[in-house]
């Protein structure tokens, strides 16, 4: 009983970092945004609000510093020896402060946007933030489906089972005519797991060797004696089990892909954003 | 045939052992099936794959129907074999060996599994590829690509090829600067420094200071142009458009900040603005004084003029044609539509008020102006008549009347002529100065006041910039009638029997003068001393402060009437002093506008004054 209730209270998934220390960094983000908004509203510079007013410069500096700090998570998460704040604290701050940037940067720019490198930096940053939000959403949704699909079996165990089935198929097909042997070879040699970007994310392989082998066995018109018939039934049963297992594995691969996919957008765009921010700062001070 | 078959088997220890066996067969069958003479494991091998056959002492291999064998690396259906030849079936390699005749075998073969079937799991792992990232589609190469694209397209390329700098611009420049938009260095002359005032002044070199050059104010003198004039905010953004808040930062309590100022505090046109300060002439020989607007102010311009007589009644002009004057007949806006041009005798008065002195003299022969000049013109006129022998005057001496044109005057004739000319000049002057309704109709006369001892006309000073501290545009107020702001000036008198029922005025031009019929209570103007300029209350009937909301009035920022840059204060760059600025722009007023603010001096008086001749009228230029 105690362990059950303990498990219920223990945070799982994204809640571990979203609710970190009672939403500490959500409060920090909202507080910071509030202060920025007050500064933005209070200052009425000559010539109107803009990125080059004192508030504009201050908010821009804060935003740029935040971006560089957010980038530092990539370093921090690899340093396992760190004695500073726990990684989930970092992630919590990363998520909330990063999201706050979507609102902070327009205040810095006084809502002036255009077709230029400055707005490009903001747009790239928005892609980073939105992909990050998508990532958090993936972490919240996908693992549940993933666990359900795995049904207490690890991917490793599933692959091991496939290998066992392959070996059993080889034995079962040994005494059967060439037609069956060929099907088994097809099932073994032409069954691929994972592979291309698309096939991993689709979770399907329309050209799966096992599916084709099973189909050909079911369509077989070869005359068999009673002994061989028994072998054939065993073979079909083995391949059918393999096919089910493959579907399960491919779903698992697909879920894993979904969890990793956002990072493929998040990280390159984060670097592009950093480059654009540096160009933005350079240009603004080169021609200011 | 007798065959020795040797299997080379790999022991788990890694050692290879040879296991021989003998068979006596007609043909040697090879395949996966257990019924073959040589049964080889492997699902890729057919149940019956090939047959070895001896014919006439030669060994042949034949592939079973529908199958193939590989002999010495070549795929074939059948082939003759000799010692040393190799066969490949599935994962197995077969070799034909030399047979010693004494051994009794026809054929010797050895075979071994060369492609050892690895475990199913490692085979599966080879066909398994997990993880989305592969090749260029991975975080690291994509990150480099993103950084590279941004840096090359938006930093490197613009640095080496300036047309690519357009994405650097934070926005379109204002309309007036559009022609230099693509040339960044035109304004951004220095790198890593803001736009300098010199950059602006290189084109806007005559832009005026805000405060007088004698009044140095660090916060103004050291301010960057770009502090107020923010560029790159779009074509339609007015670079000069500043709210009243900006002005009231200083002007709300200016006296505290700048004790030397004579300006009064103001922060909002609707709520906090001093009375209009009029430039009022109280002595035409002196400079106008600055007074607060108040009802009942009296101007002493040196001119006697009656608005009611001119506008309110029909007048008889040249040719005795009765006509009705309108405001616009005399008050005509200047080219910019801002102020009314000065009243000009020749243009506005002479049609009715003729300076005739002799029926034989050409019309308008005598100029309106300095009596000394008039006397000279008159002398010239009569002397010419004597010289031309054209004296017809009955009262003139006979010798003058009978002179031949062009003949030389004798000394006696010259004396007669001089006396006659002076008589005639005196008669003409009497007509001008003594006959009521000629010069004295408008002017005060000063007998003996002229520098030649003759008649002089008292000084005249007509104000045409009543509120010099502001700029006013009559053109902007064109939709309104004159009398809406100057009611007393537009009163007509129905009692005078003029029957002013919308006469020709409204047809001649579109300006509706909207004259007011005089009734008992209507204020009207009969004296030239009446000040017909409206006070601030009249402005406030339509204008509210800049931040006024919800009212039907025009929100009016300070800049609507008060420009920030005042050319008369000297240029912004401080290259010339105030004194130099005054002399380089003599006819500009305190707001830097070039305008006809001329003061008429005492005409013909002997007082030492500088005169300039403008359009046939003698004027003295105001000098401070």
Question: Looking at B102, B118, B134, which one is the last position of a domain?
Answer: B118
Q: Same domain, yes or no, for B448 and B468?
A: no
Quote the number of domains for chain A.
2
Q: Same domain, yes or no, for A95 and A178?
A: no
Q: Same domain, yes or no, for B373 and B509?
A: no
Task: Provide the pLDDT for residue A276.
Answer: 97
Q: Same domain, yes or no, for A159 and A188?
A: yes
Beta bridge partners of B5: B21, B109
Task: Provide the pLDDT for residue B317.
Answer: 65
Question: Looking at B63, B89, B118, which one is the last position of a domain?
Answer: B118
Interface test with B, best of A271, A273, A281, A284 (most B CBs within 10 A): A271
Q: Is B547 on the interface with A (CB under 8 A)?
A: no
Q: Same domain, yes or no, for A133 and A235?
A: no
Q: Measured in Å, how far apart are chain B's first and last C-alpha atoms?
A: 143
Distance CA A111, CA A98 (A): 19
Q: Same domain, yes or no, for A266 and A142?
A: yes
Q: Same domain, yes or no, for A132 and A185?
A: no
Q: Same domain, yes or no, for A140 and A67?
A: yes
- Domain of B84: which CATH number? 2.60.200.20
Residue contact A181–B125, C-beta within 8 A: no
Task: Provide the pLDDT for residue A3.
Answer: 41
Domain enclosing residue B495, as ranges: 277-342+462-531
Interface test with A, best of B127, B162, B239 (most A CBs within 10 A): B127
Q: Same domain, yes or no, for A40 and A97?
A: yes
Q: What angle do CA B524, B526, B529 make, to 5 degrees?
A: 105
Residue contact A117–B46, C-beta within 8 A: no
How confident is the prediction along chain A (288 residues), in pLDDT tens digits per residue? Answer: 344 444 445 556 777 788 888 889 999 999 999 999 999 999 887 767 888 888 999 999 999 999 999 998 888 877 777 677 788 888 899 999 999 999 999 999 999 898 999 999 999 999 999 999 999 999 888 888 888 998 888 888 899 999 989 988 988 888 888 889 999 999 999 999 988 888 899 988 999 999 999 999 888 888 888 888 888 888 999 999 999 999 999 999 999 998 889 999 999 999 999 999 999 999 988 877
Task: Provide the pLDDT for residue B598.
Answer: 34
Q: Same domain, yes or no, for A107 and A164?
A: no
Q: Same domain, yes or no, for B436 and B511?
A: no
Question: Within chain B, how many helices (H) and strands (E) appear?
Answer: 17, 27
* B181 in any annotated domain: no
Q: Which residues on chain A are in Cβ contact (under 8 Å) with B41? A: 174
Q: Same domain, yes or no, for B104 and B26?
A: yes
DSSP state of B227: H
Q: Same domain, yes or no, for B336 and B356?
A: no
Task: Provide the pLDDT for residue B320.
Answer: 61
Residue contact A193–B128, C-beta within 8 A: yes
Quote the number of domains for chain B.
3
Q: Same domain, yes or no, for B388 and B427?
A: yes
Residue contact B245–A269, C-beta within 8 A: no
Q: Is A259 on the interface with B (CB under 8 A)?
A: no
Q: Same domain, yes or no, for B377 and B480?
A: no
Q: Same domain, yes or no, for B398 and B496?
A: no
Distance CA B524, CA A168 (A): 123
Q: Same domain, yes or no, for A91 and A194?
A: no
Of A116, A200, A260, the CB nearest to B169: A116
Q: Same domain, yes or no, for B332 and B381?
A: no
Of A124, A160, A185, the CB nearest to B44: A185
- The pair of three-digit structure tokens given for residue B1, joined into one six-digit string: 């045939």
Residue contact A275–B142, C-beta within 8 A: no
- The pair of three-digit structure tokens given for residue A250, joined into one six-digit string: 């491919």
Q: Same domain, yes or no, for B350 and B424?
A: yes
Q: Is B189 on the interface with A (CB under 8 A)?
A: no
Q: Is A178 on the interface with B (CB under 8 A)?
A: yes
Residue contact A272–B143, C-beta within 8 A: yes
Distance CA B294, CA B535 (A): 7
Q: Same domain, yes or no, for B449 and B485?
A: no
Q: Which candidate, B433, B432, B431, B468, places its Cα nearest to that of B447?
A: B433
Q: Tell me the three state secondary structure of residue A59.
A: helix
Question: Looking at B91, B118, B145, which one is the last position of a domain?
Answer: B118
Task: Find all residues with CB under 8 Å of B242, minimum gap 6, and list them.
Answer: A46, A47, B228, B557, B559, B564
Task: Give the model confidence (pLDDT) of B304-357 as tens digits.
Answer: 998 888 877 777 766 666 666 778 888 888 988 899 999 999 888 887 888 888
Q: Is B188 on the interface with A (CB under 8 A)?
A: yes
Residue contact A117–B151, C-beta within 8 A: no
Task: Provide the pLDDT for residue B609.
Answer: 30
Q: What radius of gyration, in Å, describes the C-alpha atoms of chain A?
A: 28
* B498 in any annotated domain: yes
Q: Same domain, yes or no, for A129 and A246?
A: no
Q: For chain A, what is the largest distance between any 2 Cα atoms, rounded to a whole number of angstroms?
A: 98
This complex has an ipTM of 0.87
* B374 in any annotated domain: yes
Q: Same domain, yes or no, for A133 and A215?
A: no
Q: Same domain, yes or no, for B84 and B47?
A: yes
Minimal Cα–Cα distance from A172 to chain B, Å? 10
Size of interface A-B (CB pairs under 8 A): 158
Q: Which candidate, B8, B15, B36, places its Cα nearest to that of B92?
A: B8
* B267 in any annotated domain: no
What residues in chain B have per-residue pLDDT under 50? 498-512, 576-602, 604-624
Q: Is A123 on the interface with B (CB under 8 A)?
A: no
Q: Are B234 and B178 in contact (CB under 8 A)?
A: no
Q: Same domain, yes or no, for A26 and A133?
A: yes
Q: Are B601 and B590 in contact (CB under 8 A)?
A: no
Interface test with A, best of B154, B159, B193 (most A CBs within 10 A): B154
Residue contact A174–B138, C-beta within 8 A: no
Note if the pTM is more than 0.90: no
Question: Within chain A, how many helices (H) and strands (E) appear?
Answer: 12, 1
* B147 in any annotated domain: no
**Percent of chain A topping pLDDT 70:** 94
* B251 in any annotated domain: no
Domain enclosing residue A105, as ranges: 2-151+261-286
Q: Is A260 on the interface with B (CB under 8 A)?
A: yes
* B518 in any annotated domain: yes
């Amino acid at each position: 009983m105690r362990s059950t209730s303990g498990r219920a209270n223990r945070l799982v998934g994204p809640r571990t970092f979203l609710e970190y220390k009672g939403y500490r960094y959500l409060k920090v983000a909202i507080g910071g945004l509030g202060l920025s908004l007050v500064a933005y509203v209070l200052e009425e510079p000559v010539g109107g609000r803009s990125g080059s007013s004192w508030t504009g410069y201050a908010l821009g500096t804060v935003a740029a510093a935040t971006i560089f700090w957010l980038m530092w998570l990539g370093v921090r998460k690899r340093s396992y020896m760190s004695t500073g704040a726990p990684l989930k604290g970092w992630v919590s701050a990363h998520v909330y402060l990063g999201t706050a940037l979507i609102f902070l940067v327009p205040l810095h720019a006084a809502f002036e946007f255009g077709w230029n490198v400055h707005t490009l930096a903001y747009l790239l940053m928005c892609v980073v933030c939105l992909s990050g939000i998508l990532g958090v959403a993936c972490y919240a949704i996908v693992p549940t489906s993933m666990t359900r699909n795995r049904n207490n079996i690890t991917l490793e165990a599933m692959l091991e089972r496939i290998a066992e089935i392959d070996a059993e198929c080889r034995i079962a097909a040994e005494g059967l005519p060439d037609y069956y042997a060929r099907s088994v070879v097809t099932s073994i040699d032409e069954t691929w797991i994972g592979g291309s970007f698309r096939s991993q994310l689709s979770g399907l392989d329309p050209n799966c060797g096992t599916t084709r082998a099973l189909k050909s066995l079911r369509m077989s018109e070869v005359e068999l004696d009673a002994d061989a018939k028994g072998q054939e039934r065993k073979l079909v049963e083995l391949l059918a089990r393999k096919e089910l297992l493959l579907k399960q594995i491919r779903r698992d691969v697909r879920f894993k892909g979904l969890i990793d996919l956002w990072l493929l957008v998040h990280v390159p765009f984060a670097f592009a954003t950093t480059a654009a921010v540096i160009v933005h700062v350079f240009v603004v001070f080169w021609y200011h | 045939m007798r065959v020795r078959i040797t299997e080379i088997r790999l022991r788990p220890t890694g050692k290879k052992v040879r296991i021989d066996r003998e068979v006596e067969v007609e043909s040697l069958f090879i395949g996966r099936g257990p019924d073959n003479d040589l049964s080889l494991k492997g699902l890729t091998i057919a149940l019956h794959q090939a047959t070895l056959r001896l014919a006439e002492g030669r060994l042949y291999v034949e592939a079973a129907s529908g199958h193939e064998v590989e002999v010495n690396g070549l795929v074939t259906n059948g082939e003759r074999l000799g010692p040393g030849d190799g066969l490949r079936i599935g994962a197995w390699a077969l070799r034909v060996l030399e047979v010693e005749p004494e051994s009794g075998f026809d054929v010797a073969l050895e075979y071994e599994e060369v492609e050892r079937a690895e475990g199913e799991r490692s085979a599966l792992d080879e066909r398994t590829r997990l993880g989305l990232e592969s090749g260029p589609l991975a975080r690291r190469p994509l990150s480099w690509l993103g950084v590279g694209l941004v840096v090359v397209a938006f930093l490197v390329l613009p640095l080496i090829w300036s047309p690519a700098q357009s994405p650097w611009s934070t926005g379109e420049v204002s309309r007036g600067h559009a022609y230099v938009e693509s040339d960044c260095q035109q304004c951004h002359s220095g790198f890593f420094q803001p736009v300098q005032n010199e950059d602006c002044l290189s084109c806007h070199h005559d832009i005026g200071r805000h405060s007088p050059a004698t009044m140095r104010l660090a916060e103004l003198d050291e301010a960057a142009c770009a502090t107020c004039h923010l560029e790159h905010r779009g074509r339609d953004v007015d670079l000069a458009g500043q709210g009243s808040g900006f002005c009231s930062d200083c002007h709300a309590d200016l006296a505290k900040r700048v004790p030397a100022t004579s300006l009064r505090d103001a922060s909002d046109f609707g709520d906090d603005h001093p009375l209009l300060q009029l430039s009022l002439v109280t002595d035409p020989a002196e400079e106008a004084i600055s007074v607060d607007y108040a009802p009942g102010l009296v101007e002493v311009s040196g001119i006697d003029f009656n608005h009611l007589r001119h506008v309110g009644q029909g007048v008889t002009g040249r040719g005795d044609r009765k006509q009705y004057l309108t405001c616009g007949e005399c008050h005509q806006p200047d080219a910019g539509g801002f102020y009314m041009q000065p009243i000009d005798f020749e243009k506005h008065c002479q049609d009715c008020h003729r300076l005739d002195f002799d029926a034989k003299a050409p019309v308008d022969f005598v100029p309106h102006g300095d009596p000394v000049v008039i006397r000279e013109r008159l002398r010239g006129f009569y002397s010419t008549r004597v010289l031309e022998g054209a004296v017809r005057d009955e009262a003139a001496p006979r010798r003058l009347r009978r002179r031949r044109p062009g003949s030389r005057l004798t000394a006696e004739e010259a004396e007669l002529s001089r006396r006659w000319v002076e008589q005639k000049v005196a008669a003409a002057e009497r007509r001008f100065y003594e006959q009521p309704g000629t010069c004295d109709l408008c002017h005060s006369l000063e007998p003996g006041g002229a520098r030649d001892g003759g008649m002089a006309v008292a000084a005249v000073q007509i104000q045409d910039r009543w509120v010099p501290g502001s700029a006013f545009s009559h053109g902007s107020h064109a939709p309104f009638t004159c009398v809406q702001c100057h009611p007393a000036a537009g009163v007509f008198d129905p009692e005078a029997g003029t029957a002013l029922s919308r006469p020709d005025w409204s047809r001649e031009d579109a300006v509706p003068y909207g004259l007011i019929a005089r009734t008992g209570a209507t204020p009207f103007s009969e004296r030239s001393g009446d000040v017909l300029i409206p006070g601030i209350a009249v402005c406030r009937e339509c204008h509210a402060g800049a931040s006024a909301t919800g009212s039907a009035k025009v929100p009016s920022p300070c800049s609507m009437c008060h420009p920030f840059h005042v050319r008369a204060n000297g240029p912004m760059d401080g290259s010339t002093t105030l004194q130099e600025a005054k002399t380089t722009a003599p006819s500009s007023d305190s707001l830097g506008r070039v305008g006809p603010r001329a003061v008429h001096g005492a005409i013909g008086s002997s007082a030492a004054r500088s005169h300039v001749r403008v359009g046939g009228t003698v004027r003295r230029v105001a000098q401070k």
